[in-house]
Amino acid sequence: MKLFLDVLVPILDAEYKENNDNENLALIIYALFISTLECFSSAIFAGIATDSEEVSKVYTRTVDMLIKCTDKPGTYPVDESCSTHAMEFWYMLQEEVLSMDNGEHKKRCLDAIKPVYAHVVKVLVRKSQLPTESSLHKWNDDDLEAFRCYRQDIGDTLLSCHDVLNDLMLDVLSEALDESIMYLSYDPQSTESWTLLEATIHAFCSIAQKIEYTEHQQIVKLLKILNEIPYEKYNDKLFGMALETVGAYSEWIGDNPKYLPSAITLLVKGLNSTKASQATLGLKDLTSECQKEVVPYALPLLDACRTALQEGHLKNAEMIRLMYTVGNILSVISYENIIVYLDAMVSPCFEELQIHVQNNDLTEPTKARVVLRLEMISKLFSSLNIRKPTEGDAMMDKGCLGVDGQKLPFPGTAMPMPGGPVQPILLILEKTMGLLKDLCTLWIHDETVIDTLCKALQQALTNLMDDIKPLLTEMCCLVLSILNTNCVVSAADIAGNFILMFYKDQDSRQLMVQLFTAIMDYNFNQMQVSAG
């Protein structure tokens, strides 16, 4: 390894420049070096804290070489292609040290590598800067995709850095945040000085999962700055990263709810921007992690969601996602307000479906609208529940799986509350079951529509559990009609879950037998088709 360093490092030093004509040579050398390290990592890392001057020098030179590789001049991948190879080394090094037995030697090694990782964090922040508008002409689609993956690798490497630095990581990033704000203020009129700030926020976002509930002042400062940036002056990617970061810190905000209002304000602002996707993702996370804490702000937040849905600027995925947020919020407000907002926000979905059914319209544009509305309803059904599972229910290990792998408990784990208010989802289904039957009849030969309808019903069953009983017969008959006419996998899934939940119920025994028979007929028919 010493020979390797003696011979090849001078070559790398000569090629250490931006837009290098011999970039492939440098790339090959770095790749060879990393593969060699994988084979002799223990021997190299022994130099972290050793009395052997020779071994220590080899380790130090190796680290210096990899820092230079990480900090290769230029932007990956258009100006340089080497820095991505260094990411693996930083993971290997921290893994080697953290896997050591606890003791004085491990402490010495950690103390030795912390300054290195603090420096690497700053390098990674700088290297993760997005391309500016004026430089995009040099980038093609492959370059942009490679950079997207590179930024993801940087995020993963920052997690490794946090494992070494712990709370010191926040100090390093807070200092980087100050520097990026200062850089922004050097030329207030510049529209391209935002990239360093965006990269610093991206670094905070990347380590959010590692941050514990403590009221870290560095996070407090970050959230304050995110609300003060004049986003209209800069590229909308800066705003998008700010929204994503607020969502990433939802769990921390749940533990420190006094910072919830500023987070809501920023995300609601995002609903009316070009970065509504990040805003709807953030609201979904925030209302899930801070569901009880969001109660004081629930009605204005619902009004903001309703306005965004009505204005029509949201994309389909954003509208669907926003309905999950609506369900989260509705679950914690008064029953009277639930009814009011259901009428204002959910009725339009069913009204549109009713129009399509009345017009007997089977065109492709109508199909797209029907699927969208059903997916919005399904997402609402997945989050709207005024009877949250008890601690005992949450500890149930046994169950059956619903849509997207959600756990469905067996009978008796979610009994209805006698005399309690009717579950809102049940109210919706009672009013719209006739429409859903008509919709099913109209689109019975279209697998996409029927599959989406079944998934919405499955979400209702997953949430309602035994509360579904008033509509059990009607829903089972609807599922039977699908099984017997145009069976889709989701129809078989919901039928199976009905059977698992209600096979012991004497009043429902005959229905369960019919569902079981229909499933078996479907399976036998599929076997015959495969065999034929």
How confident is the model over 354-382, as pLDDT tens digits? 999 999 999 999 999 999 999 999 999 99
Cα–Cα distance measured from residue 288 to residue 283, given in angstroms and rounded to the nearest whole number? 8
Identify the three-state secondary structure at position 408.
strand
Choose the final residue of a domain: 285, 301, 330: 330
- The answer to whether residue 205 is domain-embedded is no
SS in 3 state form for 253-268? HHHCHHHHHHHHHHHH
For residues 315 and 357, state if they share a domain.
Answer: no
Cα–Cα distance measured from residue 192 to residue 451, given in angstroms and rounded to the nearest whole number? 47
For residues 27 and 117, state if they share a domain.
Answer: yes
- The answer to whether residue 195 is domain-embedded is no
Residue type, 60: T
Segment 9-17 mean pLDDT: 78
pLDDT of residue 202: 98
Report whether 286 contacts 324 (CB < 8 A).
no
Number of H helices and E strands in the chain, helices first, is 24, 2
Cα–Cα distance measured from residue 49 to residue 56, given in angstroms and rounded to the nearest whole number? 7
Phi/psi at 310 (5° precision): -75, -30
Residue type, 366: T
For residues 339 and 315, state if they share a domain.
Answer: no
Task: Provide the domain count of the chain.
Answer: 3
For residues 40 and 16, state if they share a domain.
Answer: yes
For residues 366 and 510, state if they share a domain.
Answer: yes
For residues 245 and 324, state if they share a domain.
Answer: yes
- The answer to whether residue 411 is domain-embedded is no
pTM, two decimals, is 0.89
Percent of the chain scored above 90 by pLDDT? 68
- The answer to whether residue 229 is domain-embedded is yes
Using 50, 70 and 90 to split pLDDT, how confident is the model at 405? very low
- The answer to whether residue 158 is domain-embedded is yes
- The answer to whether residue 391 is domain-embedded is no
Cα–Cα distance measured from residue 198 to residue 67, given in angstroms and rounded to the nearest whole number? 23
For residues 355 and 458, state if they share a domain.
Answer: yes
For residues 79 and 58, state if they share a domain.
Answer: yes
For residue 45, which of 120, 124, 110, 104 has the smallest C-alpha distance?
Answer: 110
pLDDT of residue 129: 96
Q: What's the number of CA atoms in the CB half-sphere (13 Å) around residue 333?
A: 23
Question: Does residue 258 have a pLDDT over 90?
Answer: yes
Characterize 368-385 residue by residue with b for buried, 16 or more Cβ atoms within 10 angstroms of its Cβ, and e for exposed: ebbbbbbbbbbbbbbbbb
pLDDT of residue 346: 94
For residues 108 and 7, state if they share a domain.
Answer: yes
- The answer to whether residue 407 is domain-embedded is no
CA angle 202, 312, 428 (to 5 degrees): 100
Report whether 105 contacts 82 (CB < 8 A).
no
Segment 467-484 mean pLDDT: 93
Q: Give the Cβ contact number of residue 84 at 10 Å.
A: 21
For residues 161 and 256, state if they share a domain.
Answer: no
For residues 275 and 338, state if they share a domain.
Answer: no
SS in 3 state form for 26-78? HHHHHHHHHHHHHHHHHHHHCCCCCCCHHHHHHHHHHHHHHHHHHCCCCCCCC
Identify the three-state secondary structure at position 102.
coil
Cα–Cα distance measured from residue 152 to residue 528, given in angstroms and rounded to the nearest whole number? 47
Classify residue 161 by its DSSP letter: H
- The answer to whether residue 392 is domain-embedded is no
Q: What is the CATH number of the domain that holds 247?
A: 1.25.40
Choose the final residue of a domain: 315, 330, 345: 330
For residues 381 and 311, state if they share a domain.
Answer: no
Choose the final residue of a domain: 263, 297, 330: 330
Cα–Cα distance measured from residue 158 to residue 522, given in angstroms and rounded to the nearest whole number? 51
Q: Whole domain around residue 368: which residue ranges?
A: 334-386+422-531
pLDDT digits (tens, 9 = 90+) for 279-329: 999 999 999 999 999 999 999 999 999 999 999 999 999 999 999 999 999
Report whether 271 contacts 280 (CB < 8 A).
yes
Residue type, 411: P
pLDDT digits (tens, 9 = 90+) for 316-341: 999 999 999 999 999 999 999 999 99
Peptide bond into 418 cis (omega under 30): no
